[in-house]
Structure formats: C-alpha cells, structure tokens
A and B are shown apart, each in its own frame.
Chain A
C-alpha cells in the first residue's frame, strides 16, 4: 500500500471574509497549448454545478464561482465564495462533486498531475499553493447564508400568495400583522 504524502490538516488562512461569506482566489498557470482543453473542462464543470440540485449546492455552500482565462491563454484566475470558511470544507467540496469533476479541468494547469492528485487532500494542498489573499472582498448582503436567502425567497413567494388571496387586506388589519401590512403596499 502506497504511503500518501499529503496532509489534510494545513490551513492556508488566506481567504478573506465579509459577514458570513468567505472567498477564495487562486491563480494557476495553464499547461502550454492546453487552454482550449481547459476551457472545455471548465464549461463541463460549470454546467455540472449549474445542473446540480439545490441540496448539493447547499451542502457545498458555494455562493458564486468564476473562472477567467487570461494572459493569452497562459493563466487562469479562479474566484469563488462560500457560506462558510473555505479551508475546513474543501474535502467536502471535492467529495460532493467528485474528484473526477475537479481533475477534468485542473489537469490542464501546471503542477497538477492526475496520478498523484486525485484525492481531496491532494487537491486541497494544490489549490492552497495557488491561493492569494484578496485585498478587498465585498458582498452587498454579507450577513445571510444561502439557506437564509432561499428561505427569504420562499417567505416572499408565500406572502405574495397571501396578498393575491381575496380577503387578504381585511385579514392583515389585525395588529399582529402590522409589520407585514407595512410591506404589503408594494
């Protein structure tokens, strides 16, 4: 049995945080001539994330994610934000999406060798080595998690349904509903 040489325990401490959300920014060099393959791999990766059920996204805690290929196809910038801290959850993110989904595009970046880097611990170590602290990180609504945003959306939908129901105006006259009535005007 081969001896793994990676540790899952090192914390980068490089991500910035605003409210409940933390960010990860990483800069990776693209293997010469592999920008198109990387682009295709990233399209598959993003399609996979977009198609994932809400439960999967909530488990990863991913708020947003973007990849930018720049410098004439020689470098890749990856920016993403999470509901939680990035470091404790990277093993989870790799396990939930599957190491193959990550390897599909990471294999086209310099230093990533699939035979060695197919586990969460290895991917984490690799990404940490490419991670840079954000000088500034801002979110307009920093204090809500994805789950809270989703709940808020559901409450708003339910409230609209109440307002569309005959008799709603009369029912909301009860003083208990004053905060809701204040929001009911439009």
Chain B
C-alpha cells in the first residue's frame, strides 16, 4: 500500500522513520552490527535497501517497520573513500564518545562506564526493527539471524529490546512521544497546530534550512542527500529514586502528581500544564489534536503554569523568550522504553535496568541535539537561571535547583538528585534508499 500523503519530497527515497511518528503500541529491537568484511557489509546494505521501509510506505496498515543507520566507522568499514568521509559533519566523524566532555557525559555518564560495545569502534551499523506484535518481531529477527549467517563478515554485537506500551507511558509514568514538528514539504502534520512547518533542511540533508542556508551535503550527493543524522542514546531511568523524591517532597498523593507535572511540564496523562495547570485531564492528554496545541508567551510567560525550567519547556521553549532562536534548535525524537516497568507504587529499586532508548533525528547534530543537550538541558543561562539545569534529565547531584513559579510565592527545590544516567550511545547517519544502494555498490 502506498501513502496518499501529498508531499514535494521523494518519499520513496527517504527512510520512513525520519519523517513518520512511530506506530503505537509496538515491540521492537535495536541491533548493532560490526562489519569485519566489507564485501559482506556491502551485501548487507544491498539487502537492507530492499527491505527498509521508505516514508512512502510507512502506513498504519503495516505490521512491521525497519530502519537503518551507519556510524562513521561503519562507513569506513564499508570502504567509503576518504574524500567522501571528509564531507560528513565533524561531530559525526568524531562520534559521541569522543565528544563526551562537551556533552556533559562525565562522571557516572562517562564513556568508560558505558555498556559495551557502545561508544567503541565495534559499532558500525544500527538497525531499528519494530512490529505491531511480538510474534511478528520474532519472525523478523529470525529472518535477520538467517541472513546474518549467510554474511559471516557481519557480526551482531549488541541487542536492545524496546517497546511502546498501549498507554504510551515511559518508565517514569508519563505519556511520551507527543511532540513532533512538521517538516516542510513532507505533507505530514506536526503535533502543534500553532507551529509553522520547519524548513526541510533542518531534518533532511540537501535542503535549505531555517538559517536560509543549504548546509554541506555529504558527498557524493547520492549518498548524502535525503538522509539525516541520528543520535542514539541508552538512558537509564532511576524510577524508584524519582518516586521517592516526589514522595519526600509532597504532603499528599495529589501534591506528588502536581510536583511530578511541574518537573516535566505535563501531567502523567500527557496533558500539558500550559493548558491544564491545576489538575490532570486524561482526556486532553490522550487527544493528539489538543495535547500539544499550546505556546507559552501570551498565557504563561513567567511559568506560573509550566515552570520555565521544566523538562519540556527546555526541550522546546516554543515562543517563550529565551536566549536563542527556537526554530534553529528543533528536534525530532523517536524515543522508546526498554526494561521491565517498575511495579506501580514500588519505592525501592529492584536493580532492573530500565529507561529510554532516546533517538534524535535531525540534519544538524551540533545546533540541534548538542545545542539542546548542553545549552538548554545542561545549562540554565538561556533561561535566566544559571544555577539550574533540566530537573529530569540534567546532571543534578543531590543539590540541583528548580524554581517553580506559584502564587502567592514560588517554590524552590534545592536538593534534586540525578534521575537519568547515560549508558552509552552513538552518532549515526541514516542514508536514503539510493544512498544504501550506493554503499552496496562500492568496490575496492
């Protein structure tokens, strides 16, 4: 079945996961591969080009979807010429681990503490396989295993299962995956009707972006155009610690829910504080036509509803006055949960690994992902609060601060601990389908 979306882009050439929100619920797996023999690696690219889901075929009626991305070392392992490798973005060439200091991946987040083989030279190809049902996923993974046996020069080095619950809740209990921008020319609507579509070049290589510039396209064009950069990060969430913090700072269950909402900017249902400041509104939270339909400037400039320092306001300040031009720092996120949910009401850590597989999609690693990570999540100067960082994902150390504007007087938290720890990640490039075919046809 082919999509009927009206688009000016070549949707048959663009990987579907770049432009389309994921279906929900689903089960999936991230697979990381190492290429030991470039001929087998190229054969892998040829086979993937035939089965990757293009944006044109990314329809709700499907039962499975596949996307692929390649690291810088992966491109080198495939034998991409040096002259071509040199045309990729410097951040991508360096890789995530090499940029740890800049990203704030230090201390407990440092690459030397990451899960093996994340951040090492073994990570070459990343596959995201998702399906509606576990049985279909198992079938796909079996097909992949058989295919891999035929390609001994390609090794599976890591697998992370993931899922989106029917409730779409992430590990802390909040509805996730609500907000995504419209990409100009894609014909796919964004989730905020009050946000104009963002220029194509913000999310796809080879198009004019929000600066009015045509950023450098990795060369040759057939490899670099219609692709995008992709950031993968495995983020451990201390769910028990989060719950204990809420409990220790609240007098009642209702207080706990309000405090949780103030940290995040949304109630657990997904209902935004900007629209429903005093109580949760599950109907609003579940309504995709309304749950992201808001801005800050007119009704909530001071953050009396949604704190200026809350997580979602940092990730996307919308029309609020902050240092920076917001449209230059938009991100497409394709995050998904991993690990068993902590049973409801449990306050003790059970030792299980759970959290978020964060995926960023965008054409500008530096001024999108790295900017938001360092300037808006890891720093408070842009918001006029240099002592504060993101209360949910920021590097708080037990003395983290969050100001919660309120009448008659504001509340100030001064003992925020770290709730999220980086377990590893990598920068990848997701080529177009013709880019994959070009990689397949490389010769020594």
Contact = CB atoms under 8 A, between A and B. Distances in A.
Nearest to B213: A119
A27 interface: no
B382 A61 contact: yes
A145 B386 contact: yes
B77 to A, nearest CB: 23
Interface residues of A, number: 40
B323 A119 contact: no
B323 A9 contact: no
Interface in A132-186: 143-148, 150-151
Q: Interface centre among B210, B321, B323, by most A CB within 10 Å?
A: B323
Interface residues of B, number: 31
A85 B382 CA distance: 10
B323 A59 contact: yes
Contacts of A55: 321
A145 B383 CA distance: 9
Contact of A9 (B91, B210, B374, B381): B91
Given A84-B382, A91-B325, A4 B215 contact: yes
A1 B381 CA distance: 39
Interface of B: 89-91, 210-217, 321-325, 328, 364-367, 371, 374-375, 379, 381-386
A118 B213 CA distance: 9
Contacts of B212: 99, 118-120
A94 B328 CA distance: 11
A50 B322 CA distance: 19
A119 B216 CA distance: 13
Nearest to B207: A1
Given A4-B216, A7-B90, A121-B211, A20 B386 contact: yes
Contacts of B91: 9
Given A83-B381, A121-B213, 4 more contacts: A91-B325, A94-B211, A120-B212, A147-B384
A8 B386 contact: no
A40 interface: no
Contacts of A61: 323-324, 381-382
Q: Lowest 10 CB-CB distances: which A-B pairs, in order?
A: A147-B384, A61-B323, A119-B213, A92-B325, A120-B211, A4-B214, A9-B366, A55-B321, A95-B325, A92-B324
B325 A121 contact: no
Nearest to A124: B211
Interface string A1-23: 11111111110000000001000
Contacts of A150: 384
A7 B205 CA distance: 13
Given A55-B321, A83-B323, A119-B212, A92 B328 contact: yes
B383 A3 contact: no
